[in-house]
């Protein structure tokens, strides 16, 4: 049998994964879990692909907001159009820091701008724009195309789990419809396996089969306590494995517990400033929980033989 997880270094994290899969999947294991119950869920930004200096979808959104501010000067005095127009990334960074600290004042302001930016756009057009952006844009510091910024060890892990009968899903705070066009190509996860934040949608009939358009209202934000709800809605299962990297993933990781089955909770630690980025902002509470409850911490610096 070929070596498993070749992009992972030998160590506690790799051993925990291999041991977990052996316990849940080996036919002679006393803890073997039937295939229909083998569900694994993964956050996306910062877990499956790079999220610094800003998440890719935020880059996509800011470019749209900046275009709107160029067309309508009156928007330049309002957030978030002002931040986009002035390239005030400090305001945006503080917004996310405040969010993970429990203050969503500016997140609501940003959210309102995001909803307005793509309101009344058909889902087909939004998807085409998102896919074109992801395929044509390069990361500002890594000299990689955005689609090359997926973490090779996590892609390796996804394939390893599927080879052992797991159904793999993305459960992200990012937009569901932003990730769907490329999820199969990049991760091997079909579009129906993408769970993410969504806006309200409306259907209008016409002679061509009708159209679904995005509305200027949120449906749900798939973050924090909403993640377990959306995972259950989509899968009808409590996952056996979950992987995240931030405070917004705590509830998802908590939900991945069973009284009668093994489970594995992975927390990706960004501690490699040479090959990627080094930061813990937005993950402080998750790291405390990982240490106190025995979650498996995946160190990018120590556990990954390669990053991209």
Whether the pLDDT of residue 160 is over 90: the answer is: yes
pLDDT confidence tier of residue 88, bands split at 50, 70 and 90: confident
**For 171-229, how does the pLDDT look when each residue is reduced to its tens digit (9 = 90+)?**
999 999 999 999 999 999 999 999 999 999 999 999 999 999 999 999 999 999 999 99
Structure confidence at residue 100 (pLDDT): 72
- Per the DSSP assignment, residues forming a β-bridge with 228 are none
Whether the pLDDT of residue 3 is over 80: the answer is: no
Mean pLDDT confidence for 79-84? 93
Q: Can you tell me the distance from the alpha carbon of 232 to that of 136, in angstroms, rounded to the nearest whole number? A: 34
pLDDT confidence tier of residue 2, bands split at 50, 70 and 90: low
**For 23-53, how does the pLDDT look when each residue is reduced to its tens digit (9 = 90+)?**
999 999 999 999 999 999 999 999 999 999 9
pLDDT confidence tier of residue 302, bands split at 50, 70 and 90: very high
Mean pLDDT confidence for 150-174? 98
pTM of the model: 0.94
For the chain, the structural domain boundaries read: 12-49+148-303, 56-118
Structure confidence at residue 93 (pLDDT): 78
Whether the pLDDT of residue 156 is over 90: the answer is: yes
Whether the pLDDT of residue 122 is over 60: the answer is: yes
pLDDT confidence tier of residue 1, bands split at 50, 70 and 90: very low
The alpha carbon torsion through 289, 284, 221, 153 (nearest 10 deg) reads -80
- CATH class of the 12-49+148-303 domain in this structure: alpha beta
């Amino acid at each position: 049998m070929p070596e498993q997880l070749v992009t992972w270094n030998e160590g506690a994290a790799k051993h925990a994964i291999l041991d977990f899969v052996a316990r849940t999947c080996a036919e002679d294991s006393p803890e073997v879990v039937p295939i229909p119950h083998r569900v694994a869920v993964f956050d996306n930004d910062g877990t499956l692909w790079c999220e610094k200096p800003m998440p890719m979808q935020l880059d996509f959104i800011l470019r749209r907001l900046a275009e709107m501010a160029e067309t309508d000067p009156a928007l330049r005095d309002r957030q978030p159009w002002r931040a986009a127009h002035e390239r005030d990334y400090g305001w945006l960074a503080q917004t996310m820091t405040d969010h993970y600290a429990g203050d969503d004042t500016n997140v609501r302001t940003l959210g309102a701008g995001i909803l307005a930016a793509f309101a009344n756009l058909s889902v087909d057009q939004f998807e085409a724009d998102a896919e074109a952006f992801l395929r044509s844009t390069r990361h500002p510091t890594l000299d990689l195309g955005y689609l090359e910024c997926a973490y090779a060890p996590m892609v390796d892990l996804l394939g390893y789990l599927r080879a052992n009968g797991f159904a793999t899903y993305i459960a992200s705070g990012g937009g569901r419809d932003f990730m769907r066009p490329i999820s199969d190509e990049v991760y091997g996860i079909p579009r129906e396996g993408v769970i993410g934040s969504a806006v309200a949608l409306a259907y209008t009939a016409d002679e061509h089969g009708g159209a679904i358009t995005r509305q200027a209202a949120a449906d749900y934000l798939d973050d924090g306590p909403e993640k377990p709800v959306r995972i259950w809605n989509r899968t009808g299962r409590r996952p056996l494995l979950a992987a995240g990297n931030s405070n917004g993933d705590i509830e998802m990781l908590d939900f991945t517990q069973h009284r009668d089955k093994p489970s594995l909770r992975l927390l990706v630690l960004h501690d490699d400033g040479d090959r990627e980025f080094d930061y813990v902002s937005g993950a402080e509470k998750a790291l405390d929980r990982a240490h106190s409850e025995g979650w498996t911490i995946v160190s990018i610096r120590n556990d990954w033989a390669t990053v991209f």
